[in-house]
Structure 1
């Protein structure tokens, strides 16, 4: 079974879980959730459909590291004034929704360049604005999440066509190793 057929089958399976909302209009919160999930999921789909196995691995490491650091920060700041949401509830700093969306945007921009990255970051900014407008977070929460996602992406994702020069140290010699991805 080809990769495209497997993706189509998975998409059809996921559609069976979809239940339309009873209201005629969709709330902005639901749209924010959908965009938040679409960014990293589509980033993985691009890597998968391009047969970019290394990209798939980097996507996974990026998302795990990003969400782990976000969760640790949320636990650490929960008992402080930064951890309070506009509604008074806890676990507000940094925003987990924006961090998840930002992990996909960071992957896009680092792995595939600005043509993929700019739209993904704009969609992440939409999610951030949505979270603030719905009184789920303060601006500081979403800005910190975007910065965290950007930094984690810089650490865990390399460009698809990257070139590296690294020092090599042996017992009796020093040298440089040049590596190029094609």
Structure 2
């Protein structure tokens, strides 16, 4: 419950001035791109005991950003609006999906689904504001999600994940006992 209150308070504090100053789609994506990782980090500080979650988030964030910046430097792709040659992959989307995956992996789908909805919206704003093409956003989402998944373990309790592939279906169950 404290996590929900924290997320709501942070959203209210950060979005209210932006809504008054500029209702631009790109600005809303920029704000949410910062809010989602900030919420994840806040949850590790105020919801958890110890610093395990904070370190997992930091490792996921740094690894995701290093991959994104390396690809941006190595791939010279112009943005659709012509504002630069660093279109591939989308850093905003990578950061957002890294945070959403961290939230989902660490705290469960109840928090993960809204976080993924926010991350998807951030990706949408990047395409609609002509900063990226869809492949840039999809690559950023994949990089962020993989980093979040690789470095994050559940905070507490039992995690159940559906698995489907090669004609087989099942559940992956993990937890701390």
Query: Same fold per TM (> 0.5)?
Result: yes
* Structural mapping, 1:104-123, within 5 Å: 104-123=99-118
| 1:44 equivalenced with 2:41 (yes/no) | yes
Change (3 A) 1:102 1:24: closer
* Equivalence for 1:173: none
Call closer, same or farther: CA 1:24–1:84 in 2, change over 3 Å: closer
Q: Deviations over 1:39-93 (max 9, x none)?
A: 0100111111113421111011111111111111111112xxxx22112331000
1:137 paired to 2:135: no
User: Structure 2 CA distance, aligned partners of 1:24 and 1:70?
Assistant: 30
- Return the alpha-carbon distance in structure 2 between the equivalents of residues 127 and 55 of structure 1: 24
Structure 2: gaps (5+ residues): 1-5, 159-174
Is the Cα–Cα contact under 8 Å of residues 94 and 144 in structure 2 kept in the other structure? yes
The equivalences for 1:73-84 within 5 A come to: 73-78=71-76, 83-84=77-78
Contact 2:29 2:125 in 1 (8 A): yes
Deviates more, 1:146-155 or 1:129-138: 146-155
- Find the residue that maps to 2:102 and give its secondary structure: helix
| Residue matched to 1:126 | 121
* CA-to-aligned-CA distance 1:105-164 (integer Å, 9 cap, x gap): 11101111111111111101101110100100000000111111111112111112378x
* Root mean square deviation, CA, Å: 2.9
Match of 1:100 in 2: 95
User: What TM-score comes out, normalization by structure 2 length?
Assistant: 0.75
Partner Cα separation in structure 2 for residue 115 and residue 141 of structure 1:
28
Number of equivalences? 150
Q: Which residue of 1 aligns with 2:67?
A: 69
The structure whose Rg is larger is 1
In the alignment, the residues of structure 2 paired with residue 65 and residue 157 of structure 1 have an alpha-carbon distance, to the nearest angstrom, of: 12
The ranges of structure 1 where at least 4 consecutive aligned residues each deviate by more than 3 angstroms after the TM superposition are none
